[in-house]
Amino acid sequence: MNKHKKILLSPCLLFFLVSLSACTSVHQPPSGFLGDYSSLQKGRNFKQERVAGGVDLTKYQKIKVNPVEIDRFQNSHKEYSDTEIQNLAVKLKTALENRLSKRYEILGSKDRPDQRTLVISPALVYATSPEWIINAATFWLIGFQFSKGSAVLEAKLIDGGTGKEIAAVAEERKGGGGLHDIKSLLIGGFFRFIHAEGAFKRWGTNFDKMTSPLTN
pLDDT reported for residue 65: 98
Q: Does CATH place domain 22-210 in 3.40.50?
A: yes
Contacts of 72 (CB under 8 A, 6+ apart): 31, 32, 33, 123, 125
pLDDT reported for residue 21: 53
Domain boundaries, the chain: 22-210
User: Is the torsion defined by CA of 83, 86, 92, 95 positive or negative?
Assistant: negative
Nearest alpha carbon to residue 177 among 204, 154, 202, 140: 202
pLDDT reported for residue 22: 65
pLDDT reported for residue 56: 97
Q: Identify whether the C-beta of residue 25 lies closer than 8 Å to the C-beta of residue 151.
A: no
pLDDT by 10s per residue, the chain, length 216: 444 444 333 444 444 444 445 688 888 889 999 999 999 999 999 999 999 999 999 999 999 999 999 999 999 888 999 999 999 999 999 999 999 999 999 999 999 999 999 999 999 999 999 988 887 898 888 887 888 999 999 999 999 999 999 999 999 999 998 888 899 888 999 899 999 999 999 999 999 999 998 765
Q: Identify whether the C-beta of residue 199 lies closer than 8 Å to the C-beta of residue 177.
A: yes
Phi-psi region of 192 (alpha: psi -120 to 50; beta: other; left: phi over 0): alpha
* pTM (2 d.p.): 0.86
